[in-house]
């Protein structure tokens, strides 16, 4: 079946030779599927020459079973059963969109499950009901439908209705000419009931019928007529009955006999479509011979076609579309010759169908494409089969839909994949669900960027991304949308609100992240509230170029640090904006959390989570009054955490963010001694297109400044790497960047000279009293030396730094227990007591 992936736009079967000719030459979009057949290669049915394939490429649910099928064709020897999920669908693709197809499904139960209980279930074509299948214990059954494909895919679905496990043995799909069965269109299909070939004993199908319809022979107890002449059809005939079928007929030798046919069919209220095919097979002498028929319908007495004479060796059709069936479900037909007719009735072939309206709305094609992409990208193991939205009873779990604006289709309006064990990136195809209003991806483990396209979904009002700690930044478009109040985003355990009020120079832009401890109204604090939170600016805990940092507490007792911009600082207001905008977008466990802000008149303040254990600098310098110096493991942990925070800014954010002021004073420690990077006032975000950026103003702190940047004002991520290298040296040595010696030797030069002489012992902080692993110490010093290389090309990336530090940590973990024991012994001597909160270090300056 190779080569079906593309097909020419013309109708390939036009002008085909008369049968028999190979089906595969006649049709491109044919499918002959032996369900449950797991063989590698196709095989050819000896009777028809049709090639059957296994079904793996059409379905990925269900289980293969083997049936004892003596006396049945090979294709009935296996089946696929569907114990799981209410709806399971075969996806037949590609087909020509808008073309007519005969689809036939065959079932042989054969007690494959040893339950002795042949199941009853429903078949759907796409999202529309096709038929209810009642399988038999010892015989095969099949159902056939003529339908128009609505796209390049036809779905055949088996629906469990609680009467046993659905299964299928064979699935066949054959194209028809578009001129055939004109009753069939996109909103109407025909489910075949009978297809009789009168006057012949055997069933006839392909290759005699190029469309591979099954014509059952009806000859027993009848007077049969046949001819060896061809029976002609008019150009564009709507039924294309094979000549061989038409060349035989049933009749009577005596004129007073008539043909009564009664159909018990469908269900109450169904409409029936009947087509009778006629051709006169006897050459009549027009002088004294005639065949004139009255054809009756309904209960067999309503005259529908009076005085009808079939044409000689030319096919003709009489069609009946019935009213809705009565409760008895009978429709009776009677064909009688008129009094003057010299010959009895004749009929060559007969077809009856149930008219099925295909009126279920379908999900919008683009939504289907998007959700299928989401399903495969996230490798969802949900029973997501068939149309996502329709019919209502089988709507996909986690999906909700509504009518499109023009009511021609259904749109996906919400998607809830909460707690679905999702991993990997958020598929950007979610952005193709343009009618989406709600997206819940909470309680998963997603990573990578948040697609910016979410910001363009005009109806989207709510996103929950809680639980995926490794997700990237909130992208710009989304940020804007949140700031307009058009969207609420839950992210990293907090509700995120952003307020951007800039359009003229007077108005400050700002953003707010509201902690889950606060109410929506508390987003933007008023000056009065800031006064209250800081207890009238009572506890000053830090000071910087920006302003003063105060300790504060929210109504619920949560401790916060409030950074207040001094009114004189004009530079500060720019940095305020930069910081607020950045922190609103950037979230990581190793970056300090912004909880709120105040932009009330001239009072600009930022409210942060309070970092109990102050700055790394203060810990290293021993300024923290309890004198408890950081042990080796704590130092490596802090270094790694800070590196991760910085790596996130560099590689987790698009465009990357350069912090520009990495120093031990900007690395804060919380109660659990987790390190977080703070002070984003100088940070810049650069487009990837620019490898470097010419900065107009030298920023940063002496001692940490990248010499390359200092020289040529070229700023990139590697400038942060340099500063981080300095911090790493501080952590290892316990010394500040500039030695407080008369020569004011810079730490890099100082360490470098000791490295040259291989003197690691004198590099590492003497207060550690030798409690460290020399090999790891060397490794970290090497990393620090690489970070502080004079030229940026020679420096590692932060990702590489993180990798190296992780290795140091893994080995060190073995020593944790020992060292902790050691430190508890050391400090149990009672000389040192823990300091109170008054001694706590500032959060930021
Ligand atoms: C069907 O569900 C059963 C248990 O519920 C499970 O063991 C089996 O693997 C599932 N089969 C398929 C094909 O998903
Ligand atoms: C399909 O055919 C039916 C009956 O001939 C007609 O009522 C209906 O409008 C048609 N639908 C389309 C979409 O053409
Ligand atoms: C065709 O009709 C002739 C006699 O009219 C009969 O002998 C022959 O068996 C028929 N063939 C078939 C295939 O019914
Ligand atoms: C009609 O006439 C022809 C001869 O003219 C004769 O052979 C034939 O049997 C007649 N048919 C009937 C039905 O009387
Ligand atoms: C059709 O024929 C059947 C069998 O002869 C009969 O039982 C039934 O009542 C008839 N139905 C109608 C509607 O006449
Ligand atoms: C579809 O048509 C059937 C029969 O004509 C009707 O009973 C059903 O309510 C229709 N469904 C929709 C969704 O229009
Ligand atoms: C999403 O939409 C774009 C633009 O319409 C299209 O190119 C792309 O193929 C769509 N992706 C999916 C998975 O539907
Ligand atoms: C998503 O589904 C979960 C249960 O599967 C439910 O708890 C949660 O409330 C749903 N989310 C929304 C936003 O409705
Ligand atoms: C978002 O998801 C988390 C985790 O499932 C849940 O705790 C939280 O209530 C959700 N938020 C909203 C607003 O639904
Ligand atoms: C989340 O995924 C990351 C990377 O795949 C993995 O390291 C981590 O253990 C996962 N977390 C959970 C809670 O599954
Ligand atoms: C700017 O702020 C002033 C007062 O704070 C306000 O009246 C004005 O409408 C604001 N302008 C814009 C564009 O928001
Ligand atoms: C600070 O760090 C120390 C360890 O050095 C720890 O014992 C303490 O709980 C942390 N928190 C506070 C508030 O001191």
Q: Give average pLDDT by consecutive 10-residue segment, the chain, 845 residues.
A: 25 35 50 89 87 91 91 93 95 88 95 95 95 93 95 92 96 92 96 95 89 92 92 92 95 86 90 97 93 94 96 97 91 93 95 94 93 94 91 93 91 96 94 95 90 89 86 72 71 52 31 31 63 84 73 78 69 63 74 72 73 87 74 92 92 78 89 87 49 50 79 79 94 84 75 86 87 88 93 92 86 40 28 24 31
CA of 226 to the centre of ligand 3 (A): 6
Q: What's the confidence (pLDDT) of residue 331?
A: 93
563 annotated binding-site participant: yes
Q: Residue 316 CB: number of other CB atoms within 10 A? A: 18
CATH number of 615-688+700-835: 1.10.510.10
Q: Which long-range contacts (CB under 8 A, 24 or more apart) does 559-562 make?
A: 559/610, 559/612, 560/533, 560/595, 560/607, 560/608, 560/609, 560/610, 561/607, 561/608, 561/609, 561/610, 561/611, 561/842, 561/843, 561/844, 562/530, 562/533, 562/534, 562/605, 562/606, 562/607, 562/608
What are the residue ranges of CATH 3.80.10.10 in the chain?
365-503
* 698 within 8 A of 660, measured Cβ to Cβ: no
Strands (E), 477-553: 488-491, 494-497, 512-514, 524-525, 540-543, 547-553
Q: What is the DSSP string of 517-537?
A: TS-GGGSEE-HHHHHHHTTTT
Q: What's the confidence (pLDDT) of residue 9?
A: 27
- CA separation for the pair 513, 422 (Å, rounded): 26
Residue list, ligand 11 pocket, CB within 6 Å:
501, 503-504, 506-507
- CA separation for the pair 480, 526 (Å, rounded): 22
| Closest atom of ligand 9 to CA, residue 493 | 3
- CA separation for the pair 802, 281 (Å, rounded): 90
CATH number of 198-358: 2.60.120
Residues 6 or more apart from 556 whose CB is under 8 A from it? 517
- CA separation for the pair 787, 378 (Å, rounded): 38
What are the residue ranges of CATH 2.60.120.430 in the chain?
22-178
Measured by CA distance, the residue closest to atom 6 of ligand 3 is 226
**CATH 3.10.110.10: does it fit domain 22-178?**
no
pTM metric for this prediction: 0.66
CA of 357 to the centre of ligand 2 (A): 9
Cα angle: 466, vertex 471, 475; to 5 degrees: 100
| Closest atom of ligand 8 to CA, residue 462 | 13
Of the ligands numbered here, which is closest to the C-alpha atom of 448? 10
Q: Which residue has the tokens 């254990």?
A: 613
Most ligand 10 atoms within 8 A of CB, residue of 445, 470, 644 to mutate: 445
792 alpha-carbon distance from chain centroid = 41
Q: What's the confidence (pLDDT) of residue 572?
A: 58
**Homologous superfamily of 365-503 in CATH?**
Ribonuclease Inhibitor (3.80.10.10)
What are the residue ranges of CATH 3.30.200.20 in the chain?
512-610
CA of 158 to the centre of ligand 7 (A): 29
Q: Write out the catalytic residue numbers.
A: 661
Distance set, CA 599 to CA 169, 509, 517, 528, 648 (Å): 71, 9, 20, 11, 28
Report the CATH fold assignment for 512-610. Phosphorylase Kinase; domain 1 (3.30.200)
Q: At what angle do helices 717-733 and 747-756 cross, to 10 degrees?
A: 70
Most ligand 12 atoms within 8 A of CB, residue of 541, 611, 612, 836 to mutate: 612
Measured by CA distance, the residue closest to atom 14 of ligand 12 is 613
819 half-sphere exposure, CB direction, 13 A CA radius: 18
Residue list, ligand 3 pocket, CB within 6 Å:
199-200, 224, 226, 248
Measured by CA distance, the residue closest to atom 13 of ligand 7 is 370
CA of 283 to the centre of ligand 4 (A): 11
Strands (E), 128-182: 128-134, 140-148, 154-159, 167-168, 170-175
| Residue among 57, 90, 62, 52 nearest 167 (CA) | 62
- CA separation for the pair 768, 777 (Å, rounded): 12
What tokens does 602 get? 């001239």
Measured by CA distance, the residue closest to atom 4 of ligand 2 is 183
CA of 285 to the centre of ligand 4 (A): 7
Q: What's the confidence (pLDDT) of residue 809?
A: 77
What's the distance, Cα to Cα, between the start and end of the chain in Å? Answer: 71
| Closest atom of ligand 12 to CA, residue 619 | 5
Of the ligands numbered here, which is closest to the C-alpha atom of 204? 3
């Amino acid at each position: 079946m190779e080569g079906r992936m593309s097909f020419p736009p013309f109708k390939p079967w036009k002008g085909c030779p008369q049968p028999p000719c190979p089906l595969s030459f006649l049709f491109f979009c044919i499918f002959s599927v032996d369900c449950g057949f797991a063989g590698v290669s196709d095989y050819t049915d000896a009777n028809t020459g049709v090639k059957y394939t296994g079904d793996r490429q059409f379905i990925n649910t269900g289980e293969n079973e083997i049936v004892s099928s003596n006396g049945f064709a090979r294709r009935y020897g296996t089946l696929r059963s569907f114990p799981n999920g209410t709806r399971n669908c075969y996806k037949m693709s590609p087909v020509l969109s808008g073309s007519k197809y005969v689809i036939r499904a065959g079932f042989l139960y054969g007690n494959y499950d040893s339950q002795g209980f042949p199941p009853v279930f429903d078949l759907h074509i796409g999202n529309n009901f096709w038929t209810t299948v009642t399988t038999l214990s010892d015989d095969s059954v099949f159902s056939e439908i003529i339908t128009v494909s609505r796209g390049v895919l036809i779905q055949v679905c088996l629906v469990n209705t609680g009467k046993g496990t659905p299964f299928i043995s064979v699935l066949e799909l054959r194209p028809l000419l578009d001129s055939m069965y004109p009753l069939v269109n996109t909103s109407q299909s025909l489910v075949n009931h009978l297809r009789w070939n009168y006057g012949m004993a055997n069933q006839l199908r392909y290759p005699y019928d190029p469309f591979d319809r099954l014509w059952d022979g009806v000859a027993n107890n009848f007077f049969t007529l046949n001819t060896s002449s061809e029976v002609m059809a008019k150009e564009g005939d709507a039924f294309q009955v094979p000549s061989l079928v038409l060349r035989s007929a049933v009749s009577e030798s005596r004129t007073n006999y008539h043909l009564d046919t009664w159909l018990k069919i469908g269900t109450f209220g169904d409409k029936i479509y009947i087509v009778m095919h006629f051709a006169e097979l006897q050459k009549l002498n027009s002088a004294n011979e005639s065949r004139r028929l009255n054809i009756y319908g309904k209960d067999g007495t309503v005259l529908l076609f009076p005085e009808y004479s079939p044409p000689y060796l030319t096919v003709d059709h009489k069609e009946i579309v019935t009213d809705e069936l009565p409760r008895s479900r009978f429709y009776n037909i009677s064909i009688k010759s008129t009094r003057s007719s010299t010959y009895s009735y004749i009929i060559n072939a007969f077809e009856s169908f149930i008219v099925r309206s295909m009126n279920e709305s379908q999900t919008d094609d683009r939504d289907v494409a998007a959700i299928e992409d989401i399903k495969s990208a996230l490798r969802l193991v949900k029973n997501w089969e068939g149309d996502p939205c329709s019919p209502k009873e089988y709507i996909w779990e986690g999906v909700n839909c509504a009518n499109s604006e023009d009511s021609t289709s259904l749109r996906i309006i919400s998607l809830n994949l909460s707690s679905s064990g999702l991993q990997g990136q958020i598929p950007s195809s979610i952005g193709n669900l343009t009618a989406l209003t709600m997206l819940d991806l909470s309680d998963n483990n997603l990573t990578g960027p948040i697609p910016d396209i979410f910001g363009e979904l005009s109806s989207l009002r709510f996103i929950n991304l809680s639980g995926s700690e490794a997700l990237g930044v909130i992208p710009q478009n989304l940020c804007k949308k949140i700031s307009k109040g058009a969207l609420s985003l839950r992210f990293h355990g907090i509700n995120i609100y952003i307020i951007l009020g800039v359009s003229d120079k007077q108005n400050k832009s700002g953003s707010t992240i509201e902690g889950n401890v606060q109410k929506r109204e508390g987003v933007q604090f008023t000056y009065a509230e800031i006064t209250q939170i800081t207890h009238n600016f009572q506890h000053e805990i830090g000071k910087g170029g920006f302003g003063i940092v105060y300790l504060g507490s929210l109504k619920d007792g949560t401790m916060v640090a409030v950074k207040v911009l001094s009114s004189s600082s004009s530079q500060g207001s720019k940095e305020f904006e930069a910081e607020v905008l950045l922190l609103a977008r950037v979230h990581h466990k190793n970056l300090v959390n912004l909880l709120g802000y105040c932009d009330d008149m001239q009072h600009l303040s930022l409210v942060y989570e309070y970092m109990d254990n102050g700055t790394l600098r203060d810990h290293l310098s021993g300024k923290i009054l309890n004198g408890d110096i950081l042990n080796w493991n704590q130092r490596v942990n802090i270094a790694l955490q800070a590196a991760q925070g910085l790596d996130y800014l560099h590689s987790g954010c698009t465009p990357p963010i350069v912090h520009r002021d990495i120093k031990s004073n900007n690395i804060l420690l919380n109660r659990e001694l987790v390190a977080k990077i703070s002070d984003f006032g100088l940070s810049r975000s650069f487009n990837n297109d620019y490898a470097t950026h010419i900065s107009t103003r030298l920023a940063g702190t002496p001692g940490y400044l990248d010499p390359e940047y200092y020289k040529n004002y070229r700023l990139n991520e590697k400038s942060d790497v340099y500063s981080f290298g300095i911090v790493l040296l501080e952590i290892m040595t316990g010394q500040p960047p500039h030695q407080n010696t008369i020569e004011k030797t810079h730490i890099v030069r100082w360490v470098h000279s000791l490295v040259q002489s291989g003197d690691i012992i004198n590099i590492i902080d003497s207060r550690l009293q030798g409690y460290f692993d020399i090999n790891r110490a060397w490794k970290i010093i090497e990393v620090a030396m690489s970070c502080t290389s004079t030229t940026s090309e020679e420096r590692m990336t932060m990702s590489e730094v993180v990798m190296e530090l992780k290795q140091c940590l893994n080995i060190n973990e073995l020593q944790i227990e020992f060292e902790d024991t050691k430190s508890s012994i050391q400090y149990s001597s009672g000389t040192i007591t823990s300091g109170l909160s008054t001694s706590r270090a500032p959060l930021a300056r």
